[in-house]
Amino acid sequence: MLNWMAWTTPIAIVFTSVVIIIAGMTIWGHYSPPKVHKGFLRITTDRGDRLYIAYISAAFFMVCFIGLVEGALYVGVAIAAAIAAVILKWG
């Protein structure tokens, strides 16, 4: 039935983790409502906002990295993860 979607394992892992993260954030938000704060991004964010910003920032960095650097994908992923972590913590 899902043959037309041409599933591959890596993409399945990506989307499964997105679903798990969103579900996890929902449950976490239910038991301890998120607090807003203002970090170096200069806008008021709660943790869900920061998660989204971290996600698109990391993705944007990866696109630039792939465009500028040949190979060394793991280095790019590590830097992207670091960027995401910084935004999640201090954004």
Contacts 24+ apart (CB under 8 A), 6-13: none
Helix H or strand E segment including 24: helix 9-31
Of 1, 10, 31, 40, the residue at the interface with other proteins (CB under 8 A) is 10
9 vs 14: CA distance, rounded Å: 9
Return the residues of window 36-65 that contact other proteins according to CB under 8 A: 36-38, 43-44, 52-53, 56, 59-60, 63
Q: Which residues bind other proteins (CB under 8 A)?
A: 3-8, 10-11, 14-15, 29-30, 33, 35-38, 43-44, 52-53, 56, 59-60, 63, 66-67, 70, 73
